[in-house]
Chain A
Amino acid sequence: MTSFRAFRPDDLNHFSKCNLDPLTETYDLSFYLQYFAKWPTLFQVAEDSRGNIVGYIMGKTESSPDYFQYSEHYLPWHAHITALTVAPEARRLGIGKMLTEQLEAGAEAANAYFVDLFVRKSNEKAIKFYEGMGYSVYRVVKDYYGDNINDPTAHGEDAYDMRKPTKRDKALKHIRDDGRKHEVQPEDVF
């Protein structure tokens, strides 16, 4: 049995099913609290019958800071998925999709232009997942991740910046078909 609800800080004590998975990073407490403090409606969890958190999504709404205003990389008001994870034992049930849809609903409610996220280029499963939900690659951020899971000798790993437009982006100005060809440096992204 799975329930979906807003995150509460005491859920952190029930994150083991998700966070003991090596693909899921465990951050400092301040990181989770910051999201809860600032964007509580964009932090949702899936809970099983025993109170374990078997999935969560954490996001924010923002635009690039003012000093980026005239940069070609300026990002208008949008929602960003900071973390999405589903416990290995609860994958392929639709939990990830449901959580993402909830965040998208939050983005719509906040009148954002699009929802975006970064994903490792090697994380094919997640890329498939996002593509299945209507996201597409907008640009490639070179060596965005400091480490490379598949090649420890490499400097780092590229990220795909993936996007999905919302209702507000009627003209689909914020997505592109050939995003994989657009490469940017980590300092270009906010």
Chain B
Amino acid sequence: MTHPAIPPSPETVCLRPLCPRNLDEAWLGERWVDAAVFARQQQKSAKDKKDKNYYHVVELAAWAHAPDERGINGRIAAKAAVEDMAKQNTPIDDAACLDLYEFACSKVALDYSETIGLLRSRFVKAQPKLKASALRCFDACLWHLDWENAQQIAALLDKKFSEDRKFLFRNILTTYLAACTERCPDNKKQLFLSLAKAQADRAFDLHAKVNVDGQDLHPRAVTNETEHLMWCELRILCAKPEDNLKLFTSSKSGPLAFLEHGFDRSYHQTMHYLHKSGAWAELFEIGQTVAGRSVAIYQEEGKAYAEAVRAIHQNRKDGEDESTTEKEKERKRAEVIQKSRASLSTKDRRYEEVCCDYFLWKAMVVAAKHQSDTNQKLEETRQLAQTMLEAKQQAEGKVKSVFRKNFHLLTLEILFARASETDEELADGSEQTTRVERLEKYIDTYYKDRSCFDDIKPFFSSLSKDEAAIFLKSLGTSGDKNADNFKGLMILSMRLKLRFLQATSASSGEKCDYCSEICQDTNCTGCLKSIAKGALDNFSSGIKDADLLRELQDTQDDPLSDMTMIGSVCLLNLAGVGRGCWDQGASSPFYETDTQYFLQAVTWVELYVRMIPRNDPLRMLLVKLYLLMGCVSRAKILWDSFGVKNAIVNSLGSLFFDRLSTISPRDFVNSITPTDKILRVFSKAIRKDFPNSIRQSLQYDNYWSVAKITKSGEDLSRSCALVMAVVEGRRGLRLGSDKGGAVIDDEPLIRNHALEHQLIDSTDYSYLPDFGGPNSKPTKELLSYGPPPSHERSHLSILAERFLDFVSCAQPRDYKPPKKGLALQFNWDYAVTTCKQIEQGIGVVLPAASKDHLTGAERWYYSVVLKLAVLVRTILDNAITTRSTGQVQETVRSIIVGLLDTFETQTNDLVSVPNDAQAKIQTVYGAAPVHAMGMVRESTQAIKHTVRYVTAAVDRIKATDKTRGASEAAWLGPELKKMTTAASDAELKVKDLIKQLNSKARTGGWVDRLNEWTFGDRTAPADPEDKAFRRDFADQLSNTIPRTDREFWADSVATSWQELFEGWKKVKWE
């Protein structure tokens, strides 16, 4: 997968020690013009050619950093000099000059590998003995991820200093990484990979040979783990699978051999390979050996432990230590264990560790399933695990819960694997009961673990309908009748989650597995209501239980939080949040939402978050709910409490900031936008931290870390969150003015992004609840303004920003090129090409993105931008560069008609909220129109800038050819006027809407109004059953939430809306 190249931060360069003081001070003080002048003086006075050249390059570098036009010219000169030297094969004999050239070019877009990187590798080739300079050149290439030249240099160093093993491994590593770069041609790729593999194989063979011969290790032999890892990876990538299988299952180079050396990472790497390759028989056998070996180790430990414990007891019997209390004995036992564990060899520890890893056992189960004697193999696995657990118990006195739990999961895994294979046993129902019994036992033991639901979900889903019914019934009984209220509630919450899973597992028109009703939607509405009611019943009684509440203060496991979560998720589903609204014109996932259910969910969650404030998924759910209903300032307070910063902004930033500029201008009107912080993190990470840690890895000879860091850095540069931060920031800045900051092509983080780069969304949604079945909408989609970030949406947003840059970048008024006509022609050619690229880009992505990746509002906006690009290109190509024909004029007119049609639909959608009572709620809801409002504003800005651009273009023709300019202006003018009028009309409509929303938000009486909407009886009585449910539920919920809390909530919601619309009032339109 290709990734955009993002240049690293420039490295600072110090001048050589003997340079004059004035120059050095100017350089260090970044007084670039002075430095350039002093350097020139030095050049003149220097006698030596080398010195002259050095100061010439210092001058060049200083000018390249100078301010204003001098800097621009300086950079152009530096770039030209470097490109010329690369092309002309000019020899450079001073490594310091290379650093200076690099510094000189640090602010210009330059192909490093083709220029400075190339000069560096040529330098090393010419002077291979200068080790320090060669290493500096190697380091510089690493910094720029220029693997091509780093490889050349590494190969030269390896040749020259072959006794230094680190150069061999650097050579292998860089050869491999050079092969992986996208610029490496296919034929070379294969060559490089084979070369790297051959070198690594040779180093591995030397290691093997030495091992057999018992000689001292050869300096060029693979020795430590990181070298082994590199060798394995190269084999996996380049060697034939049958050869690898042979190698990795042999006793010398397979997982067992690695464990013998204490290399757990190489063990994992080869085990995963065998798993992936489906080498089931071998995998099973290795698993058995590993487990058998660790059983033996544990048993040895166990014996020693038993001896020691006997001695402790003995002492007491002999009266030597009569005062020994139980606690003291415990301490002594712990001491014995500590000692015995501390004396274990690294190898034995590794055996034990990998045996405690679930991967090994799961792999054995999967391997067993692929063998002819599955049941026997499964049973062998179970027995082995059982023996291991017992031996572990003997050795450690107590087995950690995590392993006990893993063991129980394994037995479930085995039981369910067996059952599916043995129809006979199923027939008499005995296995069924065992399955249900085991699941019940599992819940009974692990009900406290938050992962308990995820653990049993796959097993529950494979129960038959009857089994599931028995299971749920029995859970209900054990939950209701449990003497321990806490435990009872935990079990009941588990039962409700499982019911939710069932209620969201059927397809529309199918029967619900639980109640057998036909599902109208992908949800069983009846079940959702009954689950919500069950959750509320338990919650209401729970919060009255003082003992329980006390217990909850110091624990993370919280059945009331679970009840709130499951109940509110049911309400959100009943409300129909996010149900197919993204691609509708109404532009909001809210448009068809049942506001009462929605608000009930919010009040319930708010109540509990306020009662027991902690960072848990409930809090994150509330952030998303408030964002959705336009209470952005409320959401912000909660979001800030999570402290999302630094290394986790890539995975979590989008949860809050995605689409924020279109929702809440208030957050962007300051000169520093909230996304600036995110951009700083990305910039530092990609441009400095990754290159730096690559160097650090090599300093510590951790070759394999380099490959992983490189891959991770590439992924970060393809992150949708990065694009989001840039685009949100620019849109945000435009809210306060009509400019979006610097042009995108000056933003190093994004300027090289092109359509062939696959962008990835790395957002971590795991903090949001997800109990739904395969057909239900995941919560991450349910709770967002639209589809999550995607490759398509990110590229569309970059293309639209490029278009805005293009139409809003004005040629300086005093720009008077010497050959006016020619310069103009260049200008138009460039403009047409740019427009064409944008048009083609959006044209390709938009149709593919429309439904699944965009909100309706976004779709309209990108359609408008596409049509504007077509319009500008058509005008430039046919009416600016040449005289327009009647046909061209017709084409332009029809493009404008289409454009305005799209724009009108976009605007009308926004203001088409009907003016009845129900609509009033939706209007004040705020959320329905705001995001769409933001996108309409973007469209109006794009239209206005385009009109300005075309008008300026016509003016320019007038300046060179008055008559033609006038005639083009005559027919284009009225057309452009239509566009301006449409934009102004839309602007008025939006402003009017903001005014209305603002005044509605500012009217008093919110406490009563929100109370009425949330708990009042306001549904049409179409379905009496539904009406009765609503009334009962609303009454019960309102009785559960104290009046003061409801009032506080209503006030805070109203304030938040007022702040939102206040922010909108501040948006600048001109």
Cα distance A26–B650 in the bound complex, in angstroms: 13
Interface size on A, residues (CB 8 A): 60
The answer to whether B400 touches A98, judged by C-beta atoms less than 8 angstroms apart, is yes
Residues of B within 8 A of A153 (CB): none
Residues of A within 8 A of B346 (CB): 105, 108-109
A90: min CB distance to chain B, Å: 7
Residues of B within 8 A of A108 (CB): 342, 346, 349
A-B contact pairs, 10 of them (CB 8 A): A3-B357, A6-B265, A10-B715, A15-B647, A20-B642, A30-B688, A38-B696, A40-B702, A52-B764, A89-B449
Are A29 and B700 also in contact (CB < 8 A) when A89-B449, A105-B353 are? no
- Size category of the binding interface on chain B: 35 or more
Within 8 A of A (CB), among B397-451: 400-403, 405-406, 409, 449-451
* Minimal Cβ-Cβ distance residue in B for A101: B341
Q: Does A28 contact B (CB under 8 A)?
A: yes
Are A30 and B643 also in contact (CB < 8 A) when A13-B651, A22-B615 are? no
* Minimal Cβ-Cβ distance residue in A for B225: A41
Q: Does A8 contact B (CB under 8 A)?
A: yes
Residue from the list A1, A22, A48, A94 in contact with B400, Cβ < 8 A: A94
Cα distance A33–B642 in the bound complex, in angstroms: 23
Cα distance A109–B344 in the bound complex, in angstroms: 11
Are A4 and B353 also in contact (CB < 8 A) when A49-B454, A90-B451, A98-B402 are? yes
* Minimal Cβ-Cβ distance residue in B for A38: B700
* Minimal Cβ-Cβ distance residue in A for B721: A13
Are A38 and B648 also in contact (CB < 8 A) when A2-B406, A108-B342 are? no
The answer to whether B647 touches A27, judged by C-beta atoms less than 8 angstroms apart, is yes
Map CB proximity to B onto A107-146 as digits: 1 under 8 Å, 0 otherwise.
0110000000000000000000000111000000000000
Residue from the list B450, B693, B762 in contact with A34, Cβ < 8 A: B693
Spell out A's residues near B (CB within 8 Å): 1-6, 8-10, 12-17, 19-22, 26-34, 36-41, 46, 48-50, 52, 88-95, 97-98, 101-102, 104-105, 108-109, 132-134, 166-167
Cα distance A28–B692 in the bound complex, in angstroms: 13
The answer to whether A37 touches B454, judged by C-beta atoms less than 8 angstroms apart, is no
Map CB proximity to A onto B330-352 as digits: 1 under 8 Å, 0 otherwise.
00001100100111001001100
A148: min CB distance to chain B, Å: 18
A30, A38, A48, A97: residue with the most chain B Cβ atoms closer than 10 Å: A30
Cα distance A28–B681 in the bound complex, in angstroms: 8
Within 8 A of A (CB), among B359-396: 359, 362
A80: min CB distance to chain B, Å: 16
Cα distance A97–B341 in the bound complex, in angstroms: 13
The answer to whether B764 touches A36, judged by C-beta atoms less than 8 angstroms apart, is no
The answer to whether B646 touches A26, judged by C-beta atoms less than 8 angstroms apart, is yes
B490: min CB distance to chain A, Å: 13
Residues of A within 8 A of B350 (CB): 105
Residues of B within 8 A of A98 (CB): 356, 400, 402
Q: Does B592 contact A (CB under 8 A)?
A: no
Residues of A within 8 A of B705 (CB): 36-37, 40
The answer to whether A102 touches B646, judged by C-beta atoms less than 8 angstroms apart, is no
Within 8 A of A (CB), among B434-473: 449-451, 454-455
Residue from the list B342, B402, B704 in contact with A93, Cβ < 8 A: B402
B704: min CB distance to chain A, Å: 8
The answer to whether B342 touches A167, judged by C-beta atoms less than 8 angstroms apart, is yes
A2: min CB distance to chain B, Å: 5
B397: min CB distance to chain A, Å: 12
B341, B359, B708: residue with the most chain A Cβ atoms closer than 10 Å: B708
The answer to whether B645 touches A26, judged by C-beta atoms less than 8 angstroms apart, is yes
A44: min CB distance to chain B, Å: 9
Cα distance A17–B620 in the bound complex, in angstroms: 12
Residues of A within 8 A of B161 (CB): none
Residues of A within 8 A of B357 (CB): 3-5
The answer to whether B647 touches A37, judged by C-beta atoms less than 8 angstroms apart, is no
Within 8 A of A (CB), among B682-731: 684-685, 688-690, 692-694, 696-697, 699-700, 702, 704-705, 708-709, 711-712, 715
Are A3 and B359 also in contact (CB < 8 A) when A38-B696, A98-B400 are? yes
The answer to whether A29 touches B349, judged by C-beta atoms less than 8 angstroms apart, is no
Q: Does B556 contact A (CB under 8 A)?
A: yes
Q: Does B549 contact A (CB under 8 A)?
A: no
* Minimal Cβ-Cβ distance residue in B for A104: B342
The answer to whether B684 touches A28, judged by C-beta atoms less than 8 angstroms apart, is yes
The answer to whether A132 touches B334, judged by C-beta atoms less than 8 angstroms apart, is yes
Are A27 and B338 also in contact (CB < 8 A) when A1-B455, A36-B709 are? no
Q: Does B579 contact A (CB under 8 A)?
A: no
Residue from the list A12, A20, A22, A50 in contact with B647, Cβ < 8 A: A12
The 8 closest A-B pairs by CB, nearest first: A94-B400, A9-B712, A33-B693, A89-B450, A37-B696, A30-B689, A37-B697, A13-B651
Q: A2-B402, A5-B359, A94-B403 are in contact. List 7 more A-B contacts (CB 8 A).
A: A3-B359, A20-B643, A26-B643, A36-B693, A37-B697, A52-B764, A108-B349
The answer to whether B406 touches A12, judged by C-beta atoms less than 8 angstroms apart, is no
Cα distance A7–B357 in the bound complex, in angstroms: 15
Cα distance A85–B620 in the bound complex, in angstroms: 21
Residues of B within 8 A of A20 (CB): 615, 620, 642-644, 767
Residue from the list A10, A38, A90 in contact with B712, Cβ < 8 A: A10
Are A12 and B648 also in contact (CB < 8 A) when A1-B409, A33-B693, A49-B451 are? yes
The answer to whether A5 touches B402, judged by C-beta atoms less than 8 angstroms apart, is no
Are A29 and B647 also in contact (CB < 8 A) when A16-B766, A20-B767, A166-B342 are? yes
Residues of A within 8 A of B699 (CB): 38
Residues of B within 8 A of A104 (CB): 342
Residue from the list B338, B556, B648, B762 in contact with A19, Cβ < 8 A: B648
Cα distance A98–B392 in the bound complex, in angstroms: 13
The answer to whether A167 touches B702, judged by C-beta atoms less than 8 angstroms apart, is no
Q: Does B530 contact A (CB under 8 A)?
A: no
B268, B400, B402, B403: residue with the most chain A Cβ atoms closer than 10 Å: B402
The answer to whether A6 touches B651, judged by C-beta atoms less than 8 angstroms apart, is no
The answer to whether B556 touches A89, judged by C-beta atoms less than 8 angstroms apart, is yes
Residues of B within 8 A of A41 (CB): 225, 265
The answer to whether A105 touches B696, judged by C-beta atoms less than 8 angstroms apart, is no
Residues of A within 8 A of B455 (CB): 1, 49
Q: Does B308 contact A (CB under 8 A)?
A: no
Q: Does B358 contact A (CB under 8 A)?
A: yes
The answer to whether B226 touches A94, judged by C-beta atoms less than 8 angstroms apart, is no
Q: Does B652 contact A (CB under 8 A)?
A: yes
Cα distance A19–B764 in the bound complex, in angstroms: 12
The answer to whether B709 touches A13, judged by C-beta atoms less than 8 angstroms apart, is no
Q: Does B262 contact A (CB under 8 A)?
A: yes
A28: min CB distance to chain B, Å: 5
Are A95 and B693 also in contact (CB < 8 A) when A15-B648, A38-B700, A49-B455 are? no
Cα distance A102–B451 in the bound complex, in angstroms: 23
Are A33 and B689 also in contact (CB < 8 A) when A38-B700, A166-B342 are? yes
The answer to whether A38 touches B647, judged by C-beta atoms less than 8 angstroms apart, is no
